[in-house]
A and B are shown apart, each in its own frame.
Chain A
Amino acid sequence: MLSARPNLARDVAIAAAVLVILLLLPYVWPSKMINDLVIRVSAFALFATSLNLLVGYTGMVSFGHGMFFGFGAYAFGLSMQRLGVSIPVAFLITIVSSALLGLVVGAISIRLKDIYFSFITLAFQMLLYSTVIAWVPLTGGDQGLMGGIPRPPFLGIDLSIESHRYAFAVTVMVVGLLILRQIVESPFGYTLRMIRDNTERATFLGINVFRAKLTAFMIAGVFGAIGGMVMALFVSGAYPEFVNWTMSGEGIFMIMLGGFSTFIGPAAGALILSVLNDVITRGTEHHGLFLGAVILLFALGLRKGVTDFVADWFRVRREAASRTGS
Chain B
Amino acid sequence: MNLDALTDCLTSASCLVTQTTSGLIIGMLLFLVAAGLTLIFGVLKVVNFTHGSFYMLGAYFALTVNGLTDSYFLAVLAAAAGVGLFALVFERFFMSKVYGSNVLMQLLVCYAFILILDDAVKIIWGPEFKSMGMATVFQRPPIFFAGGIVPVFYLFLIIVTLIISVALGLIITRTRFGTVVRAAAVNPSMVSALGINTGLVYSGVFVLGGMLAGLAGGLAAPVRSLTAGMGFSVLIESFIVTVIGGMGSIPGALLGSVLIGLVRSFGSIGFPLFVEGLMFMLMAIILILKPSGLLGKEG
Please tell me whether chains A and B touch each other in their complex, using a CB distance cut-off of 8 A.
Answer: yes
Task: Give A contacts to B, CB under 8 Å.
Answer: 55, 61, 108, 111-113, 115-116, 119-120, 123-124, 126-127, 130-131, 134, 249, 252-253, 255-256, 286-289, 291-293, 295-296, 298-300, 303
Do A292 and B277 have beta carbons less than 8 Å apart?
no
Considering the complex, give the chain A residue whose CB is closest to the CB of B106: A299
Considering the complex, give the chain B residue whose CB is closest to the CB of A297: B112
Do A120 and B287 have beta carbons less than 8 Å apart?
yes
| Residue B70 interfacial (CB < 8 Å) | no
| Residue B85 interfacial (CB < 8 Å) | no
Contacts of B108 in A (CB 8 A): 252-253, 256, 295, 298-299
Contacts of B288 in A (CB 8 A): 108, 111-112, 120
Do B123 and A124 have beta carbons less than 8 Å apart?
no
Do A303 and B287 have beta carbons less than 8 Å apart?
no
Q: Kindly identify which residue among A127, A249, A256 contacts B284, using a CB–CB cutoff of 8 Å.
A: A127
Do B111 and A249 have beta carbons less than 8 Å apart?
yes
Complex CA distance for A298 and B115, rounded to whole angstroms: 15
Complex CA distance for A5 and B108, rounded to whole angstroms: 38
Task: Give B contacts to A, CB under 8 Å.
Answer: 47, 94, 97-98, 101-105, 107-109, 111-116, 118-120, 122-123, 243, 247, 273-274, 276-277, 280-281, 283-284, 287-288, 291-292
Complex CA distance for A292 and B101, rounded to whole angstroms: 19
Q: Which 10 A-B pairs have the closest CB atoms?
A: A292-B115, A130-B277, A288-B119, A292-B116, A288-B115, A295-B112, A116-B291, A292-B112, A289-B119, A123-B284
Complex CA distance for A108 and B102, rounded to whole angstroms: 25
Given contacts A120-B284, A256-B108, A296-B113, 6 further A-B contacts (CB under 8 A): A115-B247, A130-B274, A130-B276, A252-B104, A288-B118, A303-B101
Tell me whether A130 and B280 are in contact in the complex, defined as CB-CB below 8 angstroms, given that A119-B243, A292-B112, A296-B112 are known contacts. Answer: yes
Q: Kindly identify which residue among A119, A256, A287, A289 contacts B283, using a CB–CB cutoff of 8 Å.
A: A119
Considering the complex, give the chain A residue whose CB is closest to the CB of B45: A115
Q: Kindly identify which residue among A116, A249, A289 contacts B287, using a CB–CB cutoff of 8 Å.
A: A116
Complex CA distance for A119 and B288, rounded to whole angstroms: 11
Contacts of B104 in A (CB 8 A): 55, 61, 252, 255-256
Complex CA distance for A108 and B119, rounded to whole angstroms: 39
Chain B contact residues: helix, strand, loop or mixed = helix
Contacts of A291 in B (CB 8 A): 112, 115
Complex CA distance for A115 and B111, rounded to whole angstroms: 18
Complex CA distance for A61 and B108, rounded to whole angstroms: 14
CB distance from B91 to the nearest CB of A (A): 13
Complex CA distance for A108 and B286, rounded to whole angstroms: 12
Some 7 contacts from A to B, beta carbons below 8 A apart, are A55-B104, A112-B287, A115-B247, A126-B280, A295-B111, A298-B108, A299-B112
Considering the complex, give the chain A residue whose CB is closest to the CB of B283: A123
Considering the complex, give the chain B residue whose CB is closest to the CB of A130: B277
Complex CA distance for A168 and B109, rounded to whole angstroms: 36
Contacts of A111 in B (CB 8 A): 288
CB distance from B119 to the nearest CB of A (A): 4
CB distance from B276 to the nearest CB of A (A): 5
Contacts of A116 in B (CB 8 A): 287, 291-292
Do B291 and A292 have beta carbons less than 8 Å apart?
no
Which of A127, A252, A293, A303 has the most C-beta atoms of chain B within 10 angstroms of its own C-beta? A127
Considering the complex, give the chain A residue whose CB is closest to the CB of B277: A130
CB distance from B149 to the nearest CB of A (A): 29
CB distance from B56 to the nearest CB of A (A): 13
Considering the complex, give the chain A residue whose CB is closest to the CB of B94: A300
Complex CA distance for A127 and B243, rounded to whole angstroms: 16
Which of A134, A287, A289, A299 has the most C-beta atoms of chain B within 10 angstroms of its own C-beta? A299
Tell me whether A256 and B280 are in contact in the complex, defined as CB-CB below 8 angstroms, given that A112-B287, A120-B287, A288-B118 are known contacts. Answer: no
Tell me whether A289 and B107 are in contact in the complex, defined as CB-CB below 8 angstroms, given that A116-B291, A123-B287, A124-B284 are known contacts. Answer: no
Contacts of A131 in B (CB 8 A): 277
Which of B47, B98, B103, B277 has the most C-beta atoms of chain A within 10 angstroms of its own C-beta? B277
Contacts of A298 in B (CB 8 A): 108
Complex CA distance for A9 and B112, rounded to whole angstroms: 41
CB distance from B25 to the nearest CB of A (A): 23
Contacts of A127 in B (CB 8 A): 277, 280-281, 284
Contacts of A134 in B (CB 8 A): 273-274, 277
Considering the complex, give the chain B residue whose CB is closest to the CB of A118: B103
Contacts of A303 in B (CB 8 A): 101, 105
Considering the complex, give the chain A residue whose CB is closest to the CB of B247: A115
Contacts of B105 in A (CB 8 A): 256, 299, 303
Do B98 and A123 have beta carbons less than 8 Å apart?
no
CB distance from A299 to the nearest CB of B (A): 5
Complex CA distance for A262 and B274, rounded to whole angstroms: 41
